Structure 1
Amino acid sequence: MAINLELPEKLNSTVERAHLAAEHIFRPISRKYDLAEHEYPVELDELGKLAKQSRGQERSGDAEASGEDTVNGTNLRSVLNARELSWGDVGLMLSIPGQGLGNAAIAAVANEEQLERFADVWAAMAITEPGFGSDSAAVTTTAVLDGDDYVINGEKIFVTAGSRADHVVVWATLDKNLGRAAIKSFVVPLDADGIAVVRLEHKLGIKSSDTAVIRFDDVRVPSGNLLGTAEINVEKGFGGVMQTFDNTRPMVAAMAVGVGRAALEEMRRMLSEAGHEVDYDKPAAAQHVAVAEFIRLESDWEASWLLTLRAAWMADNREPNSLEASMSKAKAGRTVTDVTNKAVEIGGTGGYAESELLEKWARDSKILDIFEGTQQIQQLIIARRVLGKTSADLK
């Protein structure tokens, strides 16, 4: 059986456009907004408009291709876009109007009517609370049905694009007594009464992207803004909202792949300048130790990208991809921190100084191993899937 790892030609334009934006828009302003934390990158407004237009064209194309046996659609396109833009600057990529993590959540869970209604929103995603991080089942934010509306109360932290997006996908429980089965996600306009952005966080990396604390006090949203079904199925648990991660984890993995590629390219340039060429025809052990490290890191990087492609392709083709999504996120998250830190080490004073972007990539990369589920959480999910264990069996 032959496996074709070439990308479909119809996706070449996605890659080309994204790389041009990364090279000519992101890279020139990367340091500027790293130093000017919380300042909005106005240069992204036009890019956001172009992205909106292309998404409309892509939706039409995907609809026309819906009769195909194999689909290369929204998810694959998203990871390609994320990879190229993150090569430029991952924080700026997270700041493009209309391309929030909440949009991936909507794509994962929404029905056809909601997909159409929320097609042009810019949605952040609000899961984490002051009382929990990785344990998503510990949600305390509540959503109480009152007539035709849900009334939401609670506080969310670490909301990426939380002060810039126009909507936010909020995880809330319909009934605290029913555990994780009662957790649902809601699309909430950020200009609704009762919403307050309490503060913006100062961070180690991705400083050009805002990270907000948002409080919800008696915020009313139409019942039609609940993603998925309002039915509480105790037997099923909260698999519906967890499908969100099956879409977003490959996208975060692609961000890590993009940053990793940038660091590998810079590492190879430094090795070449020092007179150490990479020779793939010689055993790694027979080459300079820095070259051997480069080859090891590059192979890990390739594995990360192939896992990411598989997870995205499976999502496009409606195949269960929870295992593959976590594998891609775990591998890419671990690899990008390994690559960027080693690049700083090999770069010496150049890698540690602000004269180059290497130190910035090292700072940016750490969050890619944390958000959308930490390294430890991904390994736990992978172990459960491989061993056939439930969350109660394997904690």
Structure 2
Amino acid sequence: MIEFKLTPAQKQVKELTHWFAENEMRPISLLSDKLGKVPDEWLAKVNKMGITLSTGGIGGGGGGASSKKEDKDVDPEVKRQTNRTTVIASEEVGWGDPAIALSLPGPGLGGPPVVNSGTPEQKERFLGIFTKDEPRWGAYALTEPEAGSDVSNIRTTATKVDGGYILNGTKIFITNGGRASWVVAFATVDRNAGRAGHRAFVVEKGTPGFRCSRLAHKMGMRANETAELVFEDCFVPDENLLGGEAYYAQRASGKSGFQVAMATFDNTRPVVAAMATGIAQAAYDYTLDFVKKEYPKSGRLYQIACEKLADMRQSIHAGRLLVWEAAWKADIGQPNSKEAAICKAYAGKNALKVCETCLELMGPIGLDGHLVEKLYRDVKVYDIFEGTNQVQHLIVARRLYDAYDLRI
């Protein structure tokens, strides 16, 4: 049974992360949005503090350091709560500033596939670069101009040659893609094979034929870098095939590359949903203070505001519990695809609705350089990336159909 009470360690993580969000992230939030980037000196400072976008979410100690520790050395109780602790921390940094949170140094979304599918040598090689010496980033390159929600339709090709593969194709909307030391890039060795042809490669910055063609200018999340990546006759050696040739040969289904991508989403969708919940909580907190200060303490307008605030409070807490359930199932080793999709679909849509309601309560004042206006622009992507709301519904429906019990 899922436990709703936080452990002492989780309480400490929540408190410390909230302190960081309030005292380090929030003061540069509007400035970073205006500049379209997080100040380099700030990123260097937090990297030395050991605050990183680690393999599963926001963490400390230099990103990939934890990946070097064997499972047998980890306290079972601590390991059982890892995903829950991650989403707790992720909600707090989402509350601080979601664009800054995704800009933190570390392996980011590229971390889970390396941890879950990489060989021991690949884990050491690619995750070992994340230290306090200098900020470094990893990235995850899956989306393409004609393969967004339909991941199986990727067109980036990987042609086998002596000693490796030649990659050709384009990836878009890649978080931290321009500055990443390496990206986990998905390509197909045979487009006619569909998902069975998918492979995952770690492509390092500076590899000939691999470049960032442009950085996107966006409505929201302006402080976070979003890149378009191009592969033109890019040679990637065999040792950069994630998991190695044996990883794919041992899978009878032949869908290993696709499964690597989907397993990553099962890990990261609860984290994204937690950050969306943090955005909703931030907008709610800001608007609650506004209503207390600016609204008359009686009358119909005050009553309407209180009713809307109460509805928002309930929906935010409901989203938080859905996130915790998905993380809990991952912690106890149970499949969580359905729960991850449910919490992602609910939290993103609800956060958008909360931010919209907060702007309504603040009126035109809310559009004049206030935090809520920025959050409203930022939050829309949480209903899109990591799989759109419609895709999440499709995933849930398929899981229900497979179970032959629509009451689940």
Using the size of structure 2 for normalisation, the TM-score is: 0.85
- In 2 relative to 1, CA 70–39 (structure 1 residues): closer, same or farther, beyond 3 Å? closer
* Unpaired segments ≥5 residues, structure 1: 279-284, 391-395
Structure 1 residue aligned with 2:248, among 230, 233, 245? 230
* Unpaired segments ≥5 residues, structure 2: 53-59, 130-136
Is the contact between residue 100 and residue 165 of structure 1 (CA under 8 Å) also seen in structure 2? no
- Give the C-alpha shift of residue 148 in structure 1: 3.0
Structure 2 residue aligned with 1:94, among 77, 92, 102? 102
For 2:57, the equivalent position in structure 1 comes to none
For 1:105, the equivalent position in structure 2 comes to 113
- The residue identity in structure 1 corresponding to 2:401 is L
Q: Deviations over 1:159-204 (max 9, x none)?
A: 1111122111111112112111211222211221111111111101
Q: What is the rounded CA distance, in whole Å, between the counterparts of 2:71 and 2:289 in structure 1?
A: 39
The worse-fitting range, judged by mean Cα deviation, of 11-20 and 303-312 is: 11-20
For 1:243, the equivalent position in structure 2 comes to 263
The worse-fitting range, judged by mean Cα deviation, of 127-136 and 143-152 is: 143-152
For 2:400, the equivalent position in structure 1 comes to 386
- In 2 relative to 1, CA 352–77 (structure 1 residues): closer, same or farther, beyond 3 Å? same
Asked whether 1:82 is paired with 2:97, we answer no
Q: What is the rounded CA distance, in whole Å, between the counterparts of 2:198 and 2:85 in structure 1?
A: 29
Q: What is the rounded CA distance, in whole Å, between the counterparts of 2:382 and 2:267 in structure 1?
A: 15
- In 2 relative to 1, CA 227–317 (structure 1 residues): closer, same or farther, beyond 3 Å? farther
- In 2 relative to 1, CA 358–94 (structure 1 residues): closer, same or farther, beyond 3 Å? same
1:135-146 paired onto structure 2 within 5 Å:
135-146=150-161
Q: Figure out how many residues of one structure are paired with residues of the other and give that number.
A: 381
Secondary structure, aligned partner of 2:168: strand
Is the contact between residue 26 and residue 97 of structure 2 (CA under 8 Å) also seen in structure 1? yes
For 1:393, the equivalent position in structure 2 comes to none
- The residue identity in structure 2 corresponding to 1:372 is E
Q: Deviations over 1:40-81 (max 9, x none)?
A: 5431222123136625675559753354597112x3333223
- Give the C-alpha shift of residue 290 in structure 1: 2.0
Q: What is the rounded CA distance, in whole Å, between the counterparts of 1:51 and 1:168 in structure 2?
A: 21
Secondary structure, aligned partner of 1:348: helix
Asked whether 1:340 is paired with 2:349, we answer no
- Give the C-alpha shift of residue 316 in structure 1: 3.0
- Give the C-alpha shift of residue 310 in structure 1: 1.8
- Give the C-alpha shift of residue 97 in structure 1: 0.9
Q: What is the rounded CA distance, in whole Å, between the counterparts of 1:248 and 1:343 in structure 2?
A: 27
- In 2 relative to 1, CA 308–81 (structure 1 residues): closer, same or farther, beyond 3 Å? same
- The residue identity in structure 1 corresponding to 2:95 is W
For 2:3, the equivalent position in structure 1 comes to 4
Is the contact between residue 64 and residue 107 of structure 2 (CA under 8 Å) also seen in structure 1? no
RMSD between superposed Cα atoms in Å:
2.7
Q: What is the rounded CA distance, in whole Å, between the counterparts of 2:124 and 2:89 in structure 1?
A: 22
- In 2 relative to 1, CA 223–28 (structure 1 residues): closer, same or farther, beyond 3 Å? same
Q: Deviations over 1:126-146 (max 9, x none)?
A: 111112321101101112232
Asked whether 1:268 is paired with 2:283, we answer no
- In 2 relative to 1, CA 216–353 (structure 1 residues): closer, same or farther, beyond 3 Å? same
- In 2 relative to 1, CA 20–195 (structure 1 residues): closer, same or farther, beyond 3 Å? same
- In 2 relative to 1, CA 115–320 (structure 1 residues): closer, same or farther, beyond 3 Å? farther
Q: What is the rounded CA distance, in whole Å, between the counterparts of 2:75 and 2:203 in structure 1?
A: 30
Asked whether 1:363 is paired with 2:372, we answer no
Is the contact between residue 200 and residue 260 of structure 2 (CA under 8 Å) also seen in structure 1? no
Q: What is the rounded CA distance, in whole Å, between the counterparts of 2:156 and 2:284 in structure 1?
A: 42
- The residue identity in structure 2 corresponding to 1:336 is A
- In 2 relative to 1, CA 333–63 (structure 1 residues): closer, same or farther, beyond 3 Å? farther
- The residue identity in structure 1 corresponding to 2:373 is E
Is the contact between residue 105 and residue 245 of structure 1 (CA under 8 Å) also seen in structure 2? no
For 1:316, the equivalent position in structure 2 comes to 331
1:40-189 paired onto structure 2 within 5 Å:
40-49=39-48, 50-51=50-51, 54=61, 55=63, 64-68=73-77, 71-73=80-82, 75-121=83-129, 122-189=137-204
For 2:133, the equivalent position in structure 1 comes to none
Using the size of structure 1 for normalisation, the TM-score is: 0.88
Q: What is the rounded CA distance, in whole Å, between the counterparts of 1:112 and 1:309 in structure 2?
A: 30
Identity within the alignment, %: 38
- Give the C-alpha shift of residue 216 in structure 1: 0.8
For 2:56, the equivalent position in structure 1 comes to none
The worse-fitting range, judged by mean Cα deviation, of 148-157 and 56-65 is: 56-65
For 2:304, the equivalent position in structure 1 comes to 289
Secondary structure, aligned partner of 2:51: helix
- Give the C-alpha shift of residue 296 in structure 1: 1.6
Secondary structure, aligned partner of 1:373: coil
- The residue identity in structure 1 corresponding to 2:29 is S
For 1:282, the equivalent position in structure 2 comes to none
- Give the C-alpha shift of residue 25 in structure 1: 1.7
- The residue identity in structure 1 corresponding to 2:51 is A
